[in-house]
Structure 1
Amino acid sequence: MTNPEADMGKHAVQKTWWFGLHPKWHVALIMTVVAAVAIATGAFIFRSQTTSAGATLANPFATNSPFNTTIAGNAQIDPVSQAMIARATRDGQVYASTVEFGIPIYGADRRTPRYTVNCTITYWGPCPFAGKQVPIPNGARPHSGSDGAMVVVDQGANRIYEFWQARNSGGKWTASFGAVNPLDGSGWGGASTGSGASRLGGVVRIAEIERGSIQHALVVQSDNICAGIFRSPAIKTDGNSTRSDCLPEGARLRLDPTLDLSTLQLTSGERTVARALQQYGAFVIDIGGSPLSMSFELDTRAPAGSIGQVYERAGFRWDYDGMSAIPWKRLQVIR
């Protein structure tokens, strides 16, 4: 317990000390305290801005996110790798999903219109958009595939809004489900993909193909996803395969790093993807309709019937281009 009389005596000493000072020192002391608070506050603001400055619309997630870390040169190969890769690459293609299942990615700021977005699936738990005014730019549209995927990044608010089966009817937005993830987080959380990966995570971006460099792990989908089994960093699975060569969600694939890409007749787009697969690999994140497909950003400015000029100049011929010059049999599943 405290002693009230002792506290009163202490306050009296403090009061006497204060009023014993010349008034000009009152001002000086106040200004010193104000300056110190301003410096401390400024330092806090600077630290906060510095912490989040590394994660942007163009370069999302924390630097130590699984998406932003390279694969160690001495990484061990899964004992079942050969069988899993044989099944996943049985048609010699990994399909570039650039249009029907290409991911439309939009930026938002404080001027972007806000909407109440309801989830039509209610038995999965609370809707991630509940209680939020969700920014969705005018003209935004999900892709035309059955996933109805769409991503909106509010960089100022440090949020990624991820929609699964998004719909706009009469100016009102709904989604079957989705996720809201921190832009500077790990890139894993929520239910916008079967594995819990962020829908923004690992997508091959248009600007990356244009500059010929991808500095993050990619993401793939397969028609042979293990039922009931997943690996970190995945947090769940929607797999249904009981085959011994199934791919678990969260598994990381890479292209054999001893493969000399300069000896291959690759398009510039294939070379960019292959180099990223050697350095960063690709995470298995969802069920797909083909043996293996890869997520690309949808070019929302491309005319109807086109995959977009950047993709075309890089040698991609159509939606679901199989990137067949890459020797897909040289993929490996990391243990």
Structure 2
Amino acid sequence: MVRRSVLVVVLAAAAVGGGAAAAVPMERALTVARGAAIAGTSCTAFPDDSWWHADISSLPVHPRSDAWLSHMSSDVDLHPDFGPSYGDGPDYGIPITVVSASHARVKVGFQYADESDRVRYPLGKDTRIEGGRSSDGDRHAVIVDEDRCRLYETWHTRKQGTRWKAGSGAVWDLTSNALRPEGWTSADAAGLPILPGLLRWSEVRDDTIDHPIRFTTDVSSRHHLWPARHDAGSEDSLDYPPMGARFRLKASFSAAE
């Protein structure tokens, strides 16, 4: 099991549903919307019928929703955490690098090799890394092969001498809904891809967000819910949110504010 010092990840729904701010179960048949292309490519962030594009506005509230909310940074408001802001510079946030199929591929040495996809990754001088290459944070790298519609993601990405290393890595076919093996991490501790959960500027410009937004909380349980494949929480109690949980904003919440 991968354990990390960074905040763990659950998912928040961009759609506004009925009732109080709440977690909702995802194991039901859902209606879906068409996903927008990733900027600079003709690839979408997974197929139109992916759960990433599911409309959850009519799903019931999860029985443990109130308990989860009460154990999630209850003294801190939900807030955007992307930049540049507060002097952090242009490398703050999780950038996306787009490459062609001809981009050179390199071997990567993984700390958690048994749960990583051990193929060659299109890393190079052009790879943008979260926080910059001198960062002491998560250093995620998110790379899209625009010709093959393949997504490559690594965590704790760094180059030491002539060799690339990372904590973990995963490769995704953006035309498929296939999940990772149960129990496997990815570049995200929930075993999910990072890119489809990012809020992108083109979505804000077009006033259309058809997917959940990735967010962090200070603590989670040692459990996960579908579609998550992995967890790295610190609490055994089911009253703490599991990785893979999906949260919905109150119907009264105004996105215009």
Q: Same fold (TM over 0.5)?
A: yes
Offset of residue 54 of structure 1: 7.0
Offset of residue 260 of structure 1: 5.5
Secondary structure of residue in 2 paired with 1:230: coil
State the match for 2:130 in structure 1: 143
| Structure 1 position 98 matched with structure 2 position 82 | yes
Secondary structure of residue in 1 paired with 2:156: strand
Closer, same or farther in 2 for the Cα pair 1:148/1:72, shift >3 Å?
A: same
What amino acid sits opposite 1:141 in the alignment?
R
Secondary structure of residue in 1 paired with 2:67: helix
Q: CA RMSD in A?
A: 2.6
Is the 2:96–2:128 Cα contact (8 Å) retained in structure 1? no
State the match for 1:192 in structure 2: 187
- Which of these residues, 62, 67, 70, is aligned with residue 55 of structure 2? 70
State the match for 1:241 in structure 2: 235
Closer, same or farther in 2 for the Cα pair 1:54/1:199, shift >3 Å?
A: closer
Higher RCO structure (Cα 8 Å, ≥6 apart): 2
TM-score normalised to structure 2 length: 0.70
Is the 2:73–2:217 Cα contact (8 Å) retained in structure 1? no
Closer, same or farther in 2 for the Cα pair 1:81/1:231, shift >3 Å?
A: same
What amino acid sits opposite 1:255 in the alignment?
L
State the match for 2:69 in structure 1: 85
Secondary structure of residue in 1 paired with 2:157: strand
Offset of residue 188 of structure 1: 4.2
Offset of residue 61 of structure 1: 0.5
What amino acid sits opposite 1:156 in the alignment?
D
Closer, same or farther in 2 for the Cα pair 1:107/1:83, shift >3 Å?
A: same
In 2: Cα distance, 1:170 partner to 1:251 partner: 40
Closer, same or farther in 2 for the Cα pair 1:136/1:57, shift >3 Å?
A: farther
Is the 1:56–1:183 Cα contact (8 Å) retained in structure 2? no
In 2: Cα distance, 1:139 partner to 1:260 partner: 40
Secondary structure of residue in 1 paired with 2:80: strand
In 1: Cα distance, 2:162 partner to 2:79 partner: 34
Larger radius of gyration: 1
- Give ranges in structure 1 of 5+ residues lacking alignment: 1-52, 267-335
In 2: Cα distance, 1:156 partner to 1:164 partner: 23
In 2: Cα distance, 1:260 partner to 1:96 partner: 15
In 1: Cα distance, 2:168 partner to 2:221 partner: 22
Offset of residue 56 of structure 1: 4.3
- Which of these residues, 107, 117, 120, is aligned with residue 98 of structure 2? 107
Cα displacement string for residues 130-151 of structure 1 (whole angstroms, at most 9, x for unaligned residues): 3x3x223533232135221111
Offset of residue 72 of structure 1: 4.0
In 2: Cα distance, 1:204 partner to 1:255 partner: 16
Q: Which has the higher helix share?
A: 1
Secondary structure of residue in 2 paired with 1:147: coil
State the match for 1:166 in structure 2: 157
Is the 1:188–1:198 Cα contact (8 Å) retained in structure 2? no
- Which of these residues, 233, 243, 248, is aligned with residue 254 of structure 1? 248
In 1: Cα distance, 2:153 partner to 2:145 partner: 11
What amino acid sits opposite 1:139 in the alignment?
D
What amino acid sits opposite 2:227 in the alignment?
P
Closer, same or farther in 2 for the Cα pair 1:220/1:186, shift >3 Å?
A: farther
In 2: Cα distance, 1:89 partner to 1:110 partner: 42
Is the 1:67–1:217 Cα contact (8 Å) retained in structure 2? yes
Offset of residue 104 of structure 1: 1.7
What amino acid sits opposite 1:67 in the alignment?
W
Closer, same or farther in 2 for the Cα pair 1:127/1:76, shift >3 Å?
A: closer
- Give ranges in structure 2 of 5+ residues lacking alignment: 1-33
Is the 1:163–1:175 Cα contact (8 Å) retained in structure 2? yes
Secondary structure of residue in 2 paired with 1:67: helix
Is the 1:118–1:173 Cα contact (8 Å) retained in structure 2? yes
Give the number of aligned pairs: 205
Q: Following superposition, which runs of at least 4 residues in structure 1 exceed 6 angstroms of deviation?
A: none
- Which of these residues, 196, 200, 210, is aligned with residue 201 of structure 1? 196
TM-score normalised to structure 1 length: 0.55
Structure 1 residues 115-134: aligned runs within 5 Å: 115-122=106-113, 125=114, 127-130=116-119, 132=120, 134=121
Is the 2:138–2:156 Cα contact (8 Å) retained in structure 1? yes
